Structure 1
């Protein structure tokens, strides 16, 4: 009985974190239809921003129409940024020309004007409500 009660109390501590988690709908607009997929890379905080291997989560959607959407579930409250890119050759990376200019379509949350490498702050947004939707304009 003590074990069951202890597990019940331990599990109760998890409920607020689960209850606060949000669903985030992200849509990429102005997608040029073609082969490959649109990859949506969700970053939690500035650390590791623009490095997909350090992303919080990554989802993909087909690039066959003028828009693409994904649904991130159970996103804890915090500050996030999303980078979307049209992975035309499905190699799971944003192909660059001269190591710095995108060869594939791309976009960022908040749709900031970018001169040089994009930063986390202009692209960041708060996840602090149960459901959130954002639209990212793709650039080719």
Structure 2
């Protein structure tokens, strides 16, 4: 999708297994590295993060999750906390990259769905009629 990814070490390894590169950030409970490597919260607070995907698993996740969510709220960074949410976000981003977003009312959406359903029913009837005529 064209994004630069940052991830903690374990997540980075998992992503690499699937051919996705991610620069490594330290977990919050690990603190900064000896060479000053930033933690996830440091990166959020520095404005280096535009979207957070945090599906906690493993050591320190409760405290880290709280601090990540707090930093996200302070900096106004959206957060995704489930794999299902991530899948939906990816679909939405892919869709926006291929076509501009459109807005329509629920009523307009219902009209379009009804039109598509009617066309589908007509197509099925047409196929059934053709099959009957072949017999």
**TM-score, normalised by the number of residues in structure 2:** 0.23
Q: Greater CA radius of gyration, 1 or 2? A: 2
Higher relative contact order (CA 8 A, sep 6+): 1
Judging by fraction of residues, say which structure has more strand.
Answer: 1
